[in-house]
Chain A
Amino acid sequence: MSEITLKSGSILLLGVNHTTAPIDVRERLAIPISRLADATRTLAHQPGIREALILSTCNRVELLTVSDAAESPLSPPLGMLRFLHDYLNLPAEEIKPHVYEFREREAIRHLFRVASSLDSMVVGEPQILGQVKESWNVAREVGAISSTLDPLLQRAFSVAKKVRTETQIGSSSVSIASVAAELARKIFGSLSGKTVLIVGAGKMSDLAARHLIQQGATTLLVSNRTEARAEKIADSLRTPAITTGVIPFNQLHEQSHRADIIITSTGAAALGQAQIFTAAQARALLHRRRNRPIFFIDIAVPRDVAPEINNLEGCFVYDIDDLQQVAAQNQAVRSREAEAAETIVTREVELYNDRLSQAPAIEAIKQLQLSAEAVRQQELARTAQRLATNPLTPEQQAAIEALTKSLTAKLLHSQLSALRTPDDPTK
């Protein structure tokens, strides 16, 4: 297919992302959401730029524009470079090595890939679509996008939705904390009303607890050898929607039946102490819970939870290796699904290109038909005026109407056919 050039302008995308620019460059380019409207407006007002949109996230900054006329693929995007220089106070030479540039079809493809989360650091992560939508909203509010970028962005959203529904790209978690939360959902369904107990203190257990709270867990208990430390953790995780509490470490086994999910990260065995939960203790725990399932997330190395507890009916034990293994499997699934998603994007780009390339012809056909109809109406009116003294009967009027319509259609036929098949060299 030939490269398209829009009648309404030329699409150009300029940007940096996590693969092309180090964080210090991305930091200098990043535009906070509070300034996004102003930045978009400024970019749209650059000479030669008709429409503009800015996408700024922690992993990418991209400027998407439609210029007044088709630019040569070799000509530098002056308006965008001026924007970078004036608005962000960045010399073009400084960022040039990190910048990628896509034009026309490749710009459309890149936008579809970004919205579908195929260009993300974690492929399949869902946040990027929301961020693109946010940029689109801002650009619409400031009037920076219209006939070209608005439908293009809407198409990008439907492509992203298609990728989500037709592939499994976002269906599985790839971080340890989110894997733990996903497993908890497989056991308990909704985590609403569930109680999480953190035993020990650690960054990972804190992160896992936060994920579980995000998924709906409403009560958080903390138990630590140092009670003050436990209280500190409980305070840091307390919100109006979360009830927190501290279990004294010496009462852990008496009270742990209150928890549905237990996250352990003490590493007590490394200090020569016994494991925190043995099979006998787990049995007693299950008995107190009347066999309601319990999920142990053992992040400690050496392990805090005896692995044989997993053999007890109703007990599920996942240690750090298990969680990592699940995360790796999910990552592999995402990579496989990404291939299917790329195929969808390629197909959608082709379809969108086809639609764009047909747009001028459709417009020309419409204009031709309108002008022919205007001439026809004009001639009919003139004839009616001439025959004013001896007016036509309704049957005669209908016959003339049909005759003129047929004549117009036949006269236009060859021109319309030529417009409908523009690639035919004989026409």
Chain B
Amino acid sequence: MSLLWLRVAVLLYGIAALAVLPAALYSRPRWRHVALPAALAGAFFHFVSITETLYAAHRALPVDTHETLSLLGLLLAAAFLILAAKYKTVSFGIFLLPVVVLLTLVPAFHPGHETIAYPFIRTGWLLLHIVLLLAAYAALFLSLIASLLYLIQERRLKQKRTPRRTWLPPLETTDQIALKALLFGLPCMTAGLLIGSVVALQTIGATFFADPKVLLSFAMWIAYVLMIFIRQHSGLRGRRAIYLSSFVFLVVLAVWSANLFSAVHRFRAP
């Protein structure tokens, strides 16, 4: 049943991703009334699906890659809805919603079968570790998109091209979103890493620190903090902000792909 809800969510996200194009690019408000309810309903069914999956498996954690991707998709969908409610813009949906569709499409049609055999599988702390880190990734991705939109709008204004339909939010708004997303992501990442470290130290011991994924994660945290410091200190915006965000995003991708070499984060039981 949970798969059915997830497929319904994918369908609704797909509708929202399509409807957001005329709503944002052609300023057609009627399509906005399609995109937002579809995304909201999609997020609801997505949440139901994840809850049902975990409940049926008698665990509190998304353990395989597909479930984790699906959870990340839900967080990004939530980010889109929050932005639409707070800043009255659906422009972010042009980039966010297709990613949400992709992140949920695979788990909806090829669900993973990986399991994890650690005794702490039912611990709420580990759930918190995963959700917080995913929230930090989502925040970073959002910040990257905001910086991209900033760059596009800045170029348009500098080239003095006045598009008939202005789908881009004002520069200051995108800048605020980019910075606020990073500032939201930092405590999430810090707390997520700390919780993960404490749990791993208790269950695995000091060898945990030699794990490539763990090392990369701490490098990612340093890069994240540095990025926020530079942005805050020098008021970095536009092209250079994009470069910086892209670099940190690459580090995040490296951390993610380090699952392949990690002894701690390997999903199959050792």
Contacts and interface: CB of A to CB of B under 8 A. Distances in A.
B236 to A, nearest CB: 7
Contacts of A171: 27, 165
Interface stretch (B47-55, B121-129, B155-163, B201-209): B155-163
A44 B169 CA distance: 50
B165 to A, nearest CB: 7
Interface string B202-236: 00000000000000000000000000000000111
A325 B160 CA distance: 9
Closest CB pairs A-B (n = 8): A189-B170, A291-B235, A290-B235, A189-B173, A326-B162, A188-B172, A189-B172, A187-B171
Given A292-B235, A310-B158, A313-B237, A186 B153 contact: yes
Interface residues of B, number: 25
Q: How large is the interface on A (under 10, 10 to 19, 20 to 34, 35 or more residues)?
A: 20 to 34
B187 interface: no
Nearest to B166: A186
Contacts of B27: 168, 171
B14 to A, nearest CB: 26
A188 B29 contact: no
Contacts of A183: 157
A289 B237 CA distance: 13
Nearest to B169: A189
Nearest to B26: A168
| Centre residue among B30, B172, B173, B239 by max chain A CB count within 10 A | B172
A407 B232 CA distance: 85
B172 A291 contact: no
A310 B154 CA distance: 11
A318 B160 CA distance: 8
| Centre residue among B171, B173, B238 by max chain A CB count within 10 A | B171
A127 interface: no
8 contacts: A172-B164, A186-B168, A188-B170, A189-B170, A293-B172, A316-B158, A322-B160, A326-B162
A329 interface: yes
B158 A186 contact: no
A290 B170 contact: no
A333 interface: yes
Nearest to B164: A333
Contacts of A219: none
A185 interface: yes
Contacts of B239: 313
Contacts of A322: 160
A322 B159 CA distance: 10
A382 B29 CA distance: 62
Contacts of A314: 237-238
A189 B168 CA distance: 11
Given A326-B160, A326-B162, A313 B170 contact: no
A188 B171 CA distance: 6
Contact of A313 (B162, B164, B169, B238): B238
A27 B154 CA distance: 47
A168 B163 CA distance: 12
Contacts of A67: none
A293 B157 CA distance: 12
Contact of A291 (B153, B160, B168, B237): B237
Nearest to B159: A310
A10 interface: no
Interface in A266-298: 289-293
A168 B162 CA distance: 14
Contacts of B237: 291, 293, 313-314
Contacts of A325: 160
B164 A186 contact: no
A185 B235 CA distance: 20
A168 B158 CA distance: 24
B238 A186 contact: no
Contacts of B164: 168, 172, 329, 333
Contact of A316 (B157, B165, B236): B157
A289 B166 CA distance: 27
B147 to A, nearest CB: 13
